[in-house]
C-alpha cells in the first residue's frame, strides 16, 4: 500500500470513527431514556452497542478494515431489529435511536467504503440492508416511518459525499506537494550557489574585514578621511555583491567586475600595498611579481598576506614591513618580515582566531601552509606557502 493511500485511509478512518462513535453515543443516550425499551431488551441492546462502538473504535487501526466494517453493519442492523421484539409502536426516543443508528452509526462505513470496488459492494449492500431493516421494524411495529427513513437516507448521502471528497482530496493534495520538491531542490541549489559566490568573493571580504577591524579599534593611526574613503569603497563593493555581481579586484585602487580564472600576483599585490599605505603601513615588495596563480589560491594567498600585514600594523609598533615573494616549480612563498617588537611564539594561544583561522585555515583550504617565527625584541617573520 503506498504512503499516499495510507494517509488517505488514515484520514477516512479517523473521520468514520468520530462520526460513528458520536452517533453511537447519541443512540445510547436515546435508548437510556426510561421507557424506550423493556429492560431485558435494553441490556441486550447495550451489548450490541458495545460491539458497535468497539468496531468503530478499531477502524482507526487500519487493520482488518473490511471485517470491522461488516461487524458495524451487523451490530447496527441487529440493534434496529431488536426494536421489533416489543411488538408495539415505538416511542419518540426509540425512534430517534433507530434513526441515529441508521443514519450515522452504520452509515459511517460509507466514509471508508468509497475507496475500492469491493467495498462499494459493501456500501450498497449495507445501505439496502439498513433501510430495509429500518422499514421492516418501523412498519411492523406501526411506528412513524417518515422521519427516521429520511434521516437515514440523508445520513448515507452526506457521509458518502464526505468520503468521496476526502478520498479524492488527499491523494491530489499529496501529489501536488510532491511536485513541489523540484522547486525546493532548485531553491536549495540556488542558495548553495549564492553562498559559494559570496564565499568566493574572498578578496573583497578580506578588505571588508580589515576595514571593519580597523573601525572596531577606533581607527587608531589612520586619518578619518582615509577611513571614510576606504569604507565607501568597501560598501560599494558589498552593494555590488548583493546585487549579484562578483567584484574582483584586479588593479591598484580600483576594482573591476570580471570573472578571473587566473590572475597575476603583481597587480593585486599593488592593491594590497595601496590599502596598507592608506592606513599608515609602508609595504616593500621584493622578488617575483609576475606569478600566475589560480584565482582561489590567489585569493587565499592574498587574504593571508593581508591578515599578516594587518597584524604587523597593529601589533609590531613599526610602520614598515617587507614582503619577499619567491617561487619554484611547485610553490609560491611569501615572507612577511617586520623589525618590530616581536613576541614569544609559545605564548600565543594556538586557538587564537586571528592567526589560525584567518591565515592558516584559508591557506590549508587550497593546500598551502603558514609558519611563524618571532621572539621578543627581534621582529616577526611569517612564511606563507601555496601551491602553484
Partner 1 sequence: MTRIDERTVPRSPLARGAAGDERDALSRARLDLGFNVATVALIAFLLVLFFLDIGDYPLLGLTIAAWVLVAVTLVAALVVRFRLPDELPLWLYLGGLGMWAVALALDIAGSWPGGGAAAPLTAAAAIGPALLLCVPVRPARDILLAAAALGGVLAIVVVWRALPDLQLLGPGMVTVAIAVAPPVVGTQIVRSLRTLVQLELDLVQVQSTVVSPGYAIGMLASEELARLDLAAERLLDGVATGRTELPLDEDTADAAAGIATELRLHLIQGRTETWLYHAVTESALLGPSVTLSDPEGLAAGLNRDQRDGLLTAVWLLISDPVRAGTGQPRTLTLELARPVGTYPQTSNPGATMSIVISTSGVPRNGVDPAAWQAVRKVGRYVESFSGSILRIEVTTVSDTSAELV
Answer yes or no: are the C-beta atoms of 301 and 284 closer than 8 Å: no
Question: Which DSSP state fits 89?
Answer: P
Tell me if 36 contacts partner 1 by CB under 8 A: yes
List, as one string, the DSSP characters of 257-286. E---SEEEHHHHHHHHHHHHHHTT-EEEEE
Closest CA to 320 of 254, 383, 379: 379
Judged by CB under 8 A, the chain residues 128 through 157 that form the site for partner 1 are 146-147, 150-151, 154, 157
CA-to-CA distance for 16 and 174, rounded, in angstroms? 21
Residue in 88, 116, 199, 378 binding partner 1, rule: CB under 8 A: 199
Pattern of binders to partner 1 over 58-87, x per CB under 8 A? --x---------------------------
Tell me if 23 contacts partner 1 by CB under 8 A: yes
The residue whose grid cell reads 423493556 is 38
CA-to-CA distance for 134 and 94, rounded, in angstroms? 12
Residue in 64, 185, 258, 352 binding partner 1, rule: CB under 8 A: 185
Judged by CB under 8 A, the chain residues 227 through 256 that form the site for partner 1 are 227-229, 231-232, 234-235, 238-239, 241-242
Residue in 129, 158, 260, 318 binding partner 1, rule: CB under 8 A: 158
Closest CA to 232 of 244, 215, 218, 245: 215
The piece of 22-30, 43-51, 114-122, 288-296 that touches partner 1 (CB under 8 A) is: 22-30
The piece of 79-87, 114-122, 189-197, 263-271 that touches partner 1 (CB under 8 A) is: 189-197
Cell matching residue 3: 504512503
Residue in 198, 278, 322, 341 binding partner 1, rule: CB under 8 A: 198
Tell me if 351 contacts partner 1 by CB under 8 A: no
Tell me if 217 contacts partner 1 by CB under 8 A: yes
Judged by CB under 8 A, the chain residues 277 through 316 that form the site for partner 1 are none
Closest CA to 335 of 388, 384, 266: 384
Tell me if 105 contacts partner 1 by CB under 8 A: no
Residue in 312, 362, 370, 384 binding partner 1, rule: CB under 8 A: 362
CB of 356 to partner 1, least distance (A): 10
Our CA dihedral for 308, 311, 317, 318, rounded to 10 degrees, sits at 30
Residue in 121, 132, 196, 277 binding partner 1, rule: CB under 8 A: 196
Nearer to partner 1, 72 or 210 (CB): 210
Per DSSP, the three-state class of 339 is: coil
CA-to-CA distance for 212 and 63, rounded, in angstroms? 65
Instruction: Please count the residues of this chain forming the interface with partner 1, following the rule CB under 8 A.
Output: 94
CB of 286 to partner 1, least distance (A): 29
- Strand boundaries in the chain, DSSP class E: 247-251, 254-257, 262-264, 282-287, 292-294, 320-327, 331-338, 369-374, 380-387
Amino acid at each position: 500500500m503506498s504512503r499516499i493511500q495510507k494517509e488517505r485511509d488514515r484520514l477516512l478512518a479517523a473521520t468514520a470513527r468520530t462520526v460513528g462513535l458520536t452517533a453511537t453515543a447519541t443512540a445510547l443516550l436515546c435508548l437510556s431514556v426510561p421507557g424506550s425499551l423493556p429492560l431485558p431488551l435494553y441490556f441486550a441492546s447495550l451489548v450490541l452497542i458495545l460491539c458497535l462502538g468497539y468496531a468503530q473504535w478499531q477502524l482507526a487501526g487500519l487493520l482488518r478494515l473490511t471485517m470491522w466494517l461488516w461487524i458495524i453493519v451487523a451490530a447496527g442492523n441487529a440493534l434496529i431489529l431488536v426494536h421489533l421484539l416489543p411488538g408495539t409502536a415505538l416511542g419518540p426516543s426509540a425512534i430517534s435511536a433507530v434513526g441515529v443508528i441508521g443514519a450515522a452509526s452504520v452509515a459511517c462505513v460509507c466514509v471508508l467504503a468509497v475507496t475500492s470496488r469491493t467495498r462499494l459492494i459493501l456500501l450498497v449492500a449495507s445501505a439496502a440492508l439498513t433501510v430495509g431493516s429500518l422499514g421492516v421494524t418501523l412498519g411492523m411495529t406501526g411506528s412513524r416511518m417518515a422521519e427516521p427513513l429520511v434521516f437515514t437516507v440523508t445520513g448515507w448521502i452526506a457521509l458518502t459525499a464526505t468520503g468521496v471528497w476526502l478520498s479524492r482530496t488527499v491523494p491530489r493534495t499529496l501529489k501536488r506537494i510532491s511536485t513541489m520538491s523540484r522547486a525546493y531542490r532548485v531553491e536549495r541549489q540556488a542558495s548553495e550557489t549564492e553562498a559559494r559566490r559570496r564565499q568566493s568573493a574572498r578578496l573583497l571580504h578580506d578588505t571588508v574585514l580589515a576595514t571593519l577591524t580597523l573601525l572596531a579599534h577606533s581607527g587608531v593611526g589612520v586619518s578619518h578621511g582615509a577611513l571614510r574613503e576606504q569604507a565607501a569603497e568597501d560598501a560599494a563593493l558589498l552593494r555590488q555583491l548583493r546585487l549579484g555581481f562578483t567584484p574582483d579586484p584586479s588593479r591598484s585602487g580600483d576594482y573591476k567586475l570580471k570573472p578571473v580564472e587566473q590572475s597575476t600576483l603583481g597587480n593585486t599585490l599593488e592593491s594590497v600595498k595601496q590599502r596598507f599605505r592608506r592606513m599608515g603601513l609602508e609595504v616593500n615588495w621584493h622578488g617575483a611579481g609576475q606569478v600566475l596563480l589560480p584565482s582561489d589560491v590567489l585569493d587565499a594567498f592574498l587574504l593571508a598576506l593581508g591578515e599578516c600585514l594587518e597584524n604587523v600594523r597593529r601589533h609590531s609598533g613599526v610602520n614598515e614591513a617587507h614582503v619577499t615573494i619567491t617561487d619554484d616549480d611547485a610553490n609560491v612563498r611569501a615572507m612577511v618580515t617586520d623589525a618590530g617588537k616581536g613576541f614569544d611564539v609559545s605564548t600565543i594561544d594556538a586557538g587564537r582566531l586571528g592567526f589560525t583561522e584567518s591565515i592558516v585555515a584559508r591557506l590549508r583550504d587550497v593546500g598551502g601552509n603558514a609558519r611563524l617565527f618571532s621572539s621578543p625584541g627581534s621582529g616577526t617573520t611569517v612564511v606563507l606557502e601555496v601551491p602553484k
